[in-house]
Every structure is written in C-alpha cells, then in structure tokens.
Amino acid sequence: MSEIENYKPGSFCWTELATNDRKKAAEFYGALFGWEANERPMGPDDVYVMLTKKGKTVGALYQDTRSGAPPHWNNYVAVESADAASDKAKSLGGSVIVGPMDVFEAGRTAYIADPEGAVIAVWQPKLNKGAELYGEEGALCWNELMSHDEERARTFYTSLFGWTTKVSPEYTELHLGEQPIGGIFPMRGEMFAKIPANWMPYFLVGDCDASTAKVKSLGGRVMKEPDDIPNTGRFSVVGDPQGAMFNLFQPKM
C-alpha cells in the first residue's frame, strides 16, 4: 500500500461521508471496501467516525443532523491557508458555505461553493495531514466535478488551486503539476438537466464488476453499470443504501 505523509497544496487529501445513518453506512462500506469504523466522540451528541484500512486512514463519516442535505460525500483539497482560499473563492465568483474554522488541533477548514453551486472543502493541515492511503485498493483515487458549464468551472478551479487542464470535447483532466488528480465531466443534454453540479469521489477496486454487484447485494444502487474508459480502466457509478453516490474504478493493467 502507498502511504502518504504530506499532501502538496492543491491535492485532494481527504473524503468524508455525511449520512443520515452512520451505523448502517459504516456496515455497508466495511463490507464493500474492508474499512474499519473507529468512533470518536466530538461532543454530547456528535460522533466522528474515522475509516481505516489495515490501520491506515482512508476517510471518515458522520451523521448529519443539521444541514438537511441528502447523504453525500465531501471532498477536501489541501491548501496553505483556508482563509486565503476562502477569500480567493469569493473573488472568483464562488461563495463560502461554512467557515473558515478550526477543527480542534487537526486543521482548519472551509466549505466553498463554486459559481455553479458545487461544494468542495479546503483543508489547512495541522495534526491531521489527510488520508494515509490514497490511490490504493479500497482508497480514494480520483475526484470528479459534474458540471453544466465546464469552461466556467475550469476558470474557477485553475485560478483557485493552481491546477492545469488537459481538455477534450468529452472530458477535462485536472492536473497538479504533471500529476493528473481529477476531472470535469460536462453534463449535457436533457438527462442531466435536473442534476445539480457536484463533486464525486472515485474509490479504487480490484474488480469493478464484482464490486458493483456487491453494492447491489448490500442494498445499494447502481446508476451506471460497469463500463470501459479507453486506455484507462473500468468504472461504475453507484450509491449506498442511504443515497450517497460515488464511483468505483478498476485501473487497466
């Protein structure tokens, strides 16, 4: 497994599930990815669940009792300053939904909405640098923005995080330096008209078809059956039993 000690600013560094049933969510992802759930009390009524694989952190989940939002994954980008990133996002036409604020001694964060309303979190690390495993089986490996206006999204995110792009008619790859780290999928046509812009994580699996079938057997949903990405790998779009959507990805060997 690849272990990461520090993330460069502009890297996706953490992912976190906001759910309406933390116990059932932990059971689902434990069965699907082999994650272990370690509950950490955060106050009289709050519990933050650290998710680990073979003792190394891959992300977290918590029960969202306040926002009223449907279950979803939050995706975090490492930054040098959460305050500076928040100010820059506002200057670029975005907005700050939550923060900036300290998360105890772990770090400082803010939740930012881009001009289309897609929400992404920034993370200024202190004691918690981010996920200890990335790009390995059962861990985060990619993040993707579903966008109705990919040109506007490219302008916003390249200015905010210093990303560069590799653009094709079908897709925009996002790069940090020479490293591809994510993408922008253009939502075009009537089938996407009612889907709001959003970020979704990809988790790496050894067998996309088998993992997709397991999602079904565990009570989840499949929005897109496994399909090939030419010269890249195989992916599917799925949802957990509470409705949070994510992607599975099997790299081409």
pLDDT at site 6: 84
Out of 2.40.50.140, 3.40.630.30, 3.10.180.10, 2.60.40.10, select the CATH number for domain 12-125: 3.10.180.10
Q: Dump pLDDT digits (tens) for 81-134.
A: 999 999 999 999 999 999 899 998 999 999 999 999 999 999 999 999 999 999
Indicate the pLDDT class of residue 1, thresholds 50, 70 and 90. Answer: very low
Query: What are the residue ranges spanned by the domains of the chain?
Result: 12-125, 140-251
Mean per-residue pLDDT over the chain, rounded: 94
pLDDT at site 2: 66
129 in helix, strand or coil? coil
Distances (CA, A) of 25 to 29, 35, 72, 218, 240: 6, 11, 11, 11, 8
For residue 213, give both structure tokens. Answer: 């079938």
| Closest residue by Cα to residue 11 from 120, 114, 107 | 120
Pairwise CA distance, residues 186 & 188, whole Å = 6
Do domains 12-125 and 140-251 share one topology? The answer is: yes
Give the architecture-level CATH label for domain 140-251.
Roll (3.10)
- Say whether pLDDT at 44 is over 70: no
For residue 160, give both structure tokens. Answer: 């905010």
Question: Do the bridges between strand 119-125 and strand 72-78 make them parallel or antiparallel, or are there none, so unpaired?
Answer: parallel
Pairwise CA distance, residues 80 & 122, whole Å = 9
- Say whether pLDDT at 232 is over 50: yes
